[in-house]
Amino acid sequence: MRVTLEPFRDFKIDLTASRTETTSRSIQYMYAGNPTTQSGTLTMTTLSLGTAFESQGDANNGYHSATFDRFVGSLEKYRGLVEARYQGSTYPAAYGGGTYNPANGAVNKYSADVMIPAFLNAYTSMGGNGLKLFPTLRSLLPNWTIRYSGLSRLPFFETLFKSININHAYRSIFAIGSYQSYSTWQEYMNGLGFITDATTGNPLPSSMYNISQVSINEAFSPLLGVDVTLQNDLTARLEYRQTRVLSLSMTSIQLNEATSKDWVIGIGYRINNFNLFNTGTRRVVKSKKKQNDNNQNDNNSTNKNGGVNRDLNLRLDMSYRQQASLTRDIASLSSAASSGNTAFKFSFMGDYTLSRLVTASLYYDLQINSPLLSSGSYPTTTHDFGVSLKLSLTR
């Protein structure tokens, strides 16, 4: 679903909401009962703004996260809710029948049935999802892109700027990368059932699906971006971007959190017909009427006669990025940094048209990387500079 809103002139909001689910079934006809296996994937837009700007903590406080503590603290509550659905149920005939007894095998606190609803409740704004493993359309939430370009029309700005564009974009995707059904699952009723414990052989209450990992991929791209063009054709760009990827693993019973924060500044300037060598070439001016009537033809003719528009393009870009990856152990309620670094990049480039066939470029790049963990790597500084000539024989 896509909706474009324009509350007032030059202010546009694009809303996007999507849900994609794929399923595949495999039936084995050669066995009694025609055993059926189901697998698939799910992705859908959501909102995770409530925890987007929470501090990750640092080594001094053990990378403490209040949301992670709340998520782990709610697991026992959700385990109890799932357990309550099986009270008074009867084991399927394949398990000998009889009334459900938690002593034979209770709901696993770290199963997907418990952790996925608790994870969605702690890190997203999905309401009314209950204990569902696959959020429904009712839980669908939109992402957006916002653009405003009307500042340059105001009297205070129009004397200085040709254009001013302000951008903001937000995206958050909940995804179940892959899942498949349990081969030993036997239904009790309404999607509830039991699987065989691989260790004891006893029946365990479980849903039909074996989901090993779910994730939330969130990005502000950018959180705030400003592009301006001054009256003298100087362009400037300022952006702040932020991303976060949360991966919940039911296999390792861990939550992996990877974040990045980017600050970007860019400045560009173009000088038209910059005569670097001052050759003193005589310019021929055609009649005004002919220029107005045949402007495009005049330009083509100038190129054919050897005329060159000698433009000097200058570009300066600076960026600063912070990246960090944390591993949060759910069973022990502990967190540790696994990787990360800070990177500063400075880049300058200038290119100039020497002739109809040759373009010269001067460039300089500086990149400084500092690791988050000194045991994993070491700081590096890279310089890259030089001059390049581009020869085009097709012009």
pLDDT at 289 over 70: no
pLDDT of residue 214: 97
DSSP three-state, residue 158: helix
pLDDT of residue 278: 63
373: number of CA atoms within 13 Å, CB side?
A: 10
Answer whether 239's CB lies under 8 Å from 222's CB.
yes
Sequence length of the chain is 395
pLDDT of residue 239: 97
Residue type for 172, please? Answer: S
State the Cα–Cα distance between residues 246 and 219, nearest whole angstrom. 12
326-357: b or e for each residue (b if 16 or more CB lie within 10 Å)?
A: bbbebeeeebebeebbbbebebbbebbbeeee
Q: How many CB atoms lie within 10 A of CB 214?
A: 22
pLDDT of residue 298: 43
Q: Which of 348, 351, 350 is nearest to 319 (CA)?
A: 348
Q: In sequence order, what DSSP letters do the residues of 290-335 get, joined into one string?
A: HHHHSHHHHHHHHHHTT-----EEEEEEEEEEEEEEEEEETTTTEE
CA R_g for the chain = 31
Answer whether 192's CB lies under 8 Å from 85's CB.
yes
DSSP collapsed to 3 states, 107-142: CCCCCHHHHHHHHHHHHCCCCCCCCCCCCCHHHCCC
Note the maximum CA span of the chain.
103
DSSP three-state, residue 291: helix
More confident residue, 265 or 359: 265
Which residues neighbour 238 within 8 Å (Cβ) at sequence distance 6 or greater? 225, 226, 264, 265, 266
| Helices and strands (H, E) in the chain, number of each type | 6, 17
Q: Each residue of 224-259: pLDDT tens digit?
A: 999 999 998 899 999 999 999 999 999 999 999 999
Residue type for 159, please? Answer: T
- For helices 66-73 and 112-123, the axis angle rounded to 10 degrees is 140
Residue with tokens 């994730």: 215
pLDDT band with cut points at 50, 70 and 90 for residue 282: very low
Which residues neighbour 15 within 8 Å (Cβ) at sequence distance 6 or greater? 1, 2, 3, 4, 5, 142, 143, 144
- For helices 112-123 and 75-84, the axis angle rounded to 10 degrees is 130
Q: What is the mean pLDDT of the chain?
A: 88
pLDDT band with cut points at 50, 70 and 90 for residue 307: low
Q: Each residue of 106-146: pLDDT tens digit?
A: 999 999 999 999 999 999 998 767 888 999 888 999 999 99
Task: Give CB contacts under 8 A, 24+ apart, made by 331-334.
Answer: 331/110, 331/253, 333/69, 333/72, 334/62
Give, rounded to a whole angstrom, the gap between the first and last alpha carbons of the chain: 46
Q: How many CB atoms lie within 10 A of CB 72?
A: 20
pLDDT of residue 266: 96
Which residues neighbour 338 within 8 Å (Cβ) at sequence distance 6 or greater? 256, 325, 326, 327, 373
pLDDT of residue 284: 44
Residue type for 96, please? Answer: G
Q: How many CB atoms lie within 10 A of CB 156?
A: 8
Q: Each residue of 52-61: pLDDT tens digit?
A: 999 888 888 9
More confident residue, 203 or 356: 203
pLDDT of residue 21: 95
Q: Each residue of 370-392: pLDDT tens digit?
A: 998 877 678 999 999 999 999 88
Q: Which of 42, 62, 51 is nearest to 129 (CA)?
A: 42
DSSP three-state, residue 69: helix
